Structure 1
Amino acid sequence: MTTVTLAPRAGRRCHNVLNSLHTTHYFAPELGRELAALGITDPRAVNFAVRSAAAGAVGAGAVTAMFYNYRHTLVADHVPAIWETAAPGAVLAARARAVDAALRRLLGPETLASAEMAEAARLALRAAEACSRGGRPLYAAHADLPVPAEPHLAYWHAATLLREHRGDGHITVLMAAELDGLEAVVTHTATGRGMTPKWVRGTRGWSREDWEAAVLRLRERGLLDADGELTERGGLLRTQIEADTDRLDRAPYEHLGAAGVARLTELGAGFARAALTAGAFPADLVGKR
């Protein structure tokens, strides 16, 4: 078998731009409206429903395990009760309608009907062919869903597959690094690239006391300093975590090949920039404070 050599972090960069467009729907008003029509109105319940529906009417324990960085008591407040309100199939259909509407608003109908979007869908689906189900429950659940016919929805579907494939592998790496779910987001926030503590606590169910206790544990391990910043050891650990995640996630991008990865990254970056310019994300979402 011929080994494809990619530029360092090429797969990660490709994933990041695809994931940027995938993530927009979590902040889209269209998603809230679609789920409200089914009777699910709490934003956190919406998140649990749309992301786990592909796995069926799973319980709180399974959702906590798959999502990893959410407080279990918050998950249990909403799961499995959400499935009594709306069946997983209805949630998936509502999610697809919301994604369609949000992408039309953020990118415009001309972009959605463009040759570039069709090309991006083909490339992303090609990469996803090399994803593996073993040990990757969220990816495996979404991989069982049909590929949408419309190119922009097929592209979004493929981006979802690649996002969940990498995410499942990332959890494996975090566990090997002995970082629990909250410690993982605290250290990620400390890099300046994760969500702010306000967003983490508000969406993941952690209290300020939970956060401070995690910070203390990380200080005792020498990963954070007295100001809550990553120490040299902490920075090296985060770098190694991303490198190990890249290693576990390399198959889709090696399968696509260097030229395909470069082209998909170029196309995906253009779509992501357009969505960002259109106001896809809250201004205070990312940062340390």
Structure 2
Amino acid sequence: MEFLAQYHPAWLFGLALALLATGIIAGVMAGLLGVGGGIVIVPVLYHLFTLLDIDPAVRMHLAVGTSLATIIPTSIVSARSHHRRGAMDIELLRTLAPAVLAGAVIGGLFGSLLEGAVLSAIFALVALAVAANMAMRSEGTTLAATLPTRGLQRLLGAGIGSVSAVMGIGGGTLGVPILSAFNYPIRRAVGTASALGVIIGVPGALGFLIAGLGLPDRPPGSIGYINLVGFALIVPLTMKTAPLGAKLAHRINPRWLRLAFAGFLALTAARMFFDLLGSSS
């Protein structure tokens, strides 16, 4: 409580509203684009922890760990919504799941041991690459006419799981553009990738939880690198709004939203690079 006492109640109220708004946006994005919400949650938490003057050594770890925990229930709701609409490829999911799980275990353990600056740099670089893909790749542009062999699918799954766990994001951020690059239908890509968030979130969150146990300089209400206050404020709204996003995914052309989202990711990456340059000077 001493930690919170230094902040004005109105400021804390604004902070809570920001977390609630994050939950709404992340839920809609999770359902609409299959991104699991983490690509929104991580940068928001990172900047909120910066405003709270949380130690830079643990700031990004807290953002990633908390995001991974929120992804689990959000992805369950989003995946169920897509499955009810027949947009989930169960056979492909069975092929990808073991490799994604193995990658997420490795990524969760590896990411929790990285320095905060390295973790931020990885997130910024991948976010920038995803933004460029969303904004610049023409509709219908593919690498191949069909999905690759199962062996290569598993290799791609391991890469999706490991990088996503390090970044604190669901499988859709990388999974959807990768599947789309192999001429896979976008709505089935979104639906199938939404289920990968659960597979990534559980081992990833556990890795960050264990790695942060007993460490100093974490905000109140934290277990390991998972902040329960952020989790409690974000999750209920992501679970409520994920079905809305899934519903919109089957009714609208998401091209304009992808462009806006790409702009958001580019600005987030630029801000993180700016913070990294400022801290190193």
The TM-score, its normalising length taken from structure 1, stands at 0.25
Which of the two has greater helix per residue?
2
Which one has the largest radius of gyration?
Answer: 1
